[in-house]
Amino acid sequence: MRNIPTRYAASRTIGGALAALSLITLTACGGDSGSESTGAVEKLGENEGEVSILAWPGYVEDGSTDPAVDWVSGFEKETGCQVTAKVYGTSDEAFNLAKSGEYDVVAASGDLTLRMIAAGEAAEVNTDLIPNYEGIYDFLKDREWNTVDGKNYGIPHGYGANLLMYNTEDVTPAPTSWKAVFEDAPKHKGQVTAYDSPIYIADAAVYLMAHQPDLGIENPYSLDEKQLAAAVDLLKAQRASVGEYWSDYTKTQASFETGDTVVGTTWQVIANLIDPKKASVKAILPSEGATGWNDTWMISSNAKSPNCAYAWLDHISDPKTNAQATEYFGEAPNSDKACEFASEGHCETFHAGDEKYAEQIWFWNTPIEKCLDGRTDVTCTDYQDWTKAWAEIKG
Amino acid sequence: MTLSSISSTLSRRPGIRLGLLLAAPLTWLVLVYVVALAALLVTAFWTIDSFTNELQRTFTLDNVREITGEALYRTVTLRTLGVALLVTLIDCAIALPVGFYMAKIASRRSRHLLVIAFLMPLWASYLVKALAWRSLLSNGGLLDWAGGLVGLGSPGFGFTAIVLTQAYIWLPYVILPVYAAYERVPDSLLDAAGDLGARPALTFRTVVLPLVVPGLVAGSIFSFSLTMGDYITVNIVGGANQMLGNLVYINSGSNLPLAAAIALIPIVVIMIYLALVRRTGALENL
């Protein structure tokens, strides 16, 4: 290389290109923050011919995973909207993808929706344009994660609770409280599991709400610094007994089957999947209540195909489609009508429409500085604080 | 411009010729490595709006102060460093005798078989290997059973499990350069040492080892740096432990600048490692 006379020139070009490129990358990341939504659309137009969707795995199935599981092809034929779907693994990942502005529709859990709305990424939705909205359970509508200042930002999809699961042989007497994974955790040292996400801090807060009322926790997603510190202490103590944290549901399934884990948080679908020959488990909703998820179909404020997006929102909340999708994922559907289409026992297993049951669930919400429980004398800890605390808990 | 005039221009101007030849790989290199790394470096000194996650492009040292000041990052850095060093030691300890056997003792035929055997794991997916270790280590798994025979259980999921799994996954990357280094040691040197009365141990220490060190160093760079950056194995067999990669991962969603700042730690560590290695002079013999 040393003898080549153009070496200097070449390196200068590279330098120039580098500078130019970094400039491009930096400015391209800019994005248009703070773009205020200008109100929901009044009328729908022609379908655009395509729609891109960002969703949890299992929410948008076109038969490519399993030929028998397909609620997309019919929609494409009927509306002329070609669907491209991308799946994500965590709400944080979804948020970064959604900000790219490439998606028309996003299926968001409650720990994401408020961030989407605050970042100006979500468009107000005119529910009058979605005929199937009417049949949806009233207790899922107008909640604090899908409706802000009276403006609706999406359609409820399905919901479920983060339950307490235990191995019936190893954990006796049968627990009825989250105490099993907190105070009683040392009894099963190394065999306790917990959900691996900052949002799990809310589970500790739900427990503290019932057992340490003097802390004054009103809403597990609305913690001031003192309350967060109490939850962190509880989780740090729990950490000593935790064998592993899980975020991939197949991992916790395997862990319960081999006996590496005997008690911890779970989803109903995992309890259903565990082979009873390998481990006898039970999943319960403890006396303190539980956290849970309630997902919302949102439309991007930068949607290129808003009409197809509305068509999709209506399609996915169609009782038959909703039954298919929520059953495939393993959660309660969003309407009584959907239960007519679901297989027998599905709605009972997942307590669909059971308002008493739903009242015990603190659906995931985004912790923000402005306290969600209405307190104005303190600032609350936000999701970033929670992320930091979570890393610290794991140590 | 006709084809012939293009070719005559190219033949007269070696600079253009070279430039065209190098354009594609250089663009790739610049785009993928240099720009990405520069962006990473810059991002580490920015901050973020805590609610909307919007980047705020004002220079701040907060992130650097946080990763150098807080105990969490010290603990995790030490843990990651410990894992990386142990993995490198284990892999070198296995690669030295195995490489020697492959290059100097085994017959031609079995040498090929051995090379294939050690390369085979590279054909399997990383995830498959990590998950296989998960089932080996789990309750009632192979290690639990084998350990039970001598009165020990499986080490379970955790620090030991991470070290074992990583050592297994990166082993081929160490064995190959070590084996190649042994191959380059002329047999005549071994014979000469023997003729001069050196016992095998002395021959190995004074003749073979110095010639193999560059291969060993090359291998250790692989195992060390790959372990420093990993987070998937930790997720699968790490139990409740976390390494630097996990901290980057957990922050990448909600606080990109902090994640970038954490990512600087392994970069600095690896740079120090390379500087140390360079001091030994081993890199020049590669």
What is the SS3 string spanning chain B? CCHHHHHHHHHHCHHHHHHHHHHHHHHHHHHHHHHHHHHHHHHCCCEECCCCCCEECCCCCHHHHHHHHCHHHHHHHHHHHHHHHHHHHHHHHHHHHHHHHHHHHCCHHHHHHHHHHHHHHHHCCHHHHHHHHHHHHCCCCHHHHHHHHCCCCCCCCCHHHHHHHHHHHHHHHHHHHHHHHHHCCCHHHHHHHHHCCCCHHHHHHHHHHHHHHHHHHHHHHHHHHHHHHCCHHHHHHCCCCCCHHHHHHHHHHHCHHHHHHHHHHHHHHHHHHHHHHHHCCHHHHC
B14 and A93 in contact by Cβ < 8 A? no
User: Would the pLDDT of B201 be above 80?
Assistant: yes
A263-267 and A192-195 beta bridge pairing: parallel
User: Would the pLDDT of A92 be above 90?
Assistant: no
Residues A130-169 pLDDT 10s: 999 999 999 999 998 999 989 999 999 999 999 999 999 9
**Top mean-pLDDT range of A152-156, A268-272, B148-152:** A152-156
User: Would the pLDDT of B211 be above 80?
Assistant: yes
Q: What is the DSSP secondary structure assignment for residue A372, as one 8-state letter?
A: T
Confidence of residue A352 (pLDDT cuts 50, 70, 90): very high
What is the overall mean pLDDT for chain A? 88
pLDDT for the residue B1: 61
Distance of CA A52 to the CA centre of its chain: 19
- Backbone φ and ψ for A363, nearest 5 degrees, come out as -65, 140
**B14, B22, B35 ranked by CB distance to A22: nearest:** B35
A254 and B240 in contact by Cβ < 8 A? no
Residues A318-332 pLDDT 10s: 999 999 999 998 899
Confidence of residue A362 (pLDDT cuts 50, 70, 90): very high
Confidence of residue B272 (pLDDT cuts 50, 70, 90): very high
Q: A197, A258, A390: best mutation site toward chain B, by most B Cβ within 10 Å?
A: A258
Residues of chain A contacting residue B141, judged by C-beta atoms under 8 Å apart: 258
**A6, A93, A95 ranked by CB distance to B53: nearest:** A95
User: Would the pLDDT of A21 be above 70?
Assistant: no
How many interface pairs between A and B have CB atoms less than 8 angstroms apart? 127
pLDDT for the residue A13: 43
pLDDT for the residue A38: 56
Mean pLDDT, range A47-55, rounded to an integer: 95
Residues of chain A contacting residue B51, judged by C-beta atoms under 8 Å apart: 115, 118-119, 368-369, 382-383
| Whole-number Å distance between alpha carbons of A93 and A109 | 12
User: Would the pLDDT of A96 be above 80?
Assistant: yes
Mean pLDDT, range A309-326, rounded to an integer: 95
A395 and B18 in contact by Cβ < 8 A? no
Half-sphere exposure in the Cβ direction for A28 (13 Å, CA): 8
Supply the pTM of this predicted model: 0.83
| Whole-number Å distance between alpha carbons of B181 and B286 | 9
| pLDDT above 70 coverage of chain A, percent | 90
User: Would the pLDDT of A10 be above 60?
Assistant: no
Residues A211-256 pLDDT 10s: 999 999 999 999 999 999 999 999 999 999 999 999 888 889 999 9
Residue A120 contacts B, CB cutoff 8 Å: yes
A382 and B51 in contact by Cβ < 8 A? yes
Spatial contact of A295 and A108, defined as CB atoms under 8 Å apart: yes
| Whole-number Å distance between alpha carbons of A286 and A366 | 23
- Which residues touch A221 (CB under 8 Å, ≥6 apart)? A202, A205, A362, A364, A365, A366, A367, A372
Tell me whether 0.95 is exceeded by the ipTM: no
- How many residues are listed for chain A in this entry? 395
Could you tell me if residue A159 is left (phi over 0), alpha (psi between -120 and 50 degrees) or otherwise beta? beta
B52 and A118 in contact by Cβ < 8 A? yes
Nearest-neighbour CA in chain A from B216: distance (Å): 28
Mean pLDDT, range A312-321, rounded to an integer: 95
Q: B16, B54, B63: best mutation site toward chain A, by most A Cβ within 10 Å?
A: B54
